A = this chain, B = another copy of it.
Amino acid sequence: MPSGERASVPDRGPATPDLGLVDALAQLSFLIQETLTRVAAGHDLSVVQVRLLGVLRDRHPGMNDLARLLGLDKSSVTGLVDRAERRGLVRRNVNARDRRSYEVTLTPVGRSLGRRVAREFDREARRLARGLEPRERERLSSLITRVLVDEAAARNVELFPK
């Protein structure tokens, strides 16, 4: 049930409007995805290609593992890796122990491109929160982390790697 409370800080001009939790979450997610899409596009990458670079940063999975990690069918990953390989961002290395499978790894170019995109996204995302006080940013980060931790637990997945 949506409660009708107003914000407790009375120093925000007219009325401190609120979108409500659901609309706020939805619109925020579009804003973040749009930001990521824009940053990625600046390097001729799609969001899923950026995810691929991110997943490979500290892993060298096979195509099947990659499919699981990205939540895609393995046949989708074939094309994804094809295109990234054509651009010299990743490599399929033969796996000596199981000749059916590969080890997909980042090339130096892919790694550095991934880093650059991550850095830019970091900057843009912080820019979006520039209107919040440091304490508020902490609170926001903490509340969102709580939501993500709960969901990870519900899915029996670990949110914090290593």
Q: Which residues of A are in contact with B by a Cβ distance under 8 Å?
A: 3, 5, 7-9, 16-22, 24-29, 31-34, 36, 71, 121-122, 125-126, 128-132, 134, 136-151, 159-160
| Total copies of the chain | 2
Given contacts A17-B160, A19-B159, A129-B21, contact A138 B3 (CB under 8 A): yes
State in angstroms the CA–CA spacing of A36 and B80 once bound together: 23
Say how far A153's CB is from chain B's closest CB, in angstroms: 9
Q: Please, could you name 9 A-B residue pairs with CB atoms under 8 Å apart, sorted by A? A: A3-B138, A7-B142, A21-B125, A21-B140, A22-B121, A24-B144, A33-B33, A34-B71, A136-B143
Question: A19, B132: Cβ atoms under 8 Å?
Answer: no
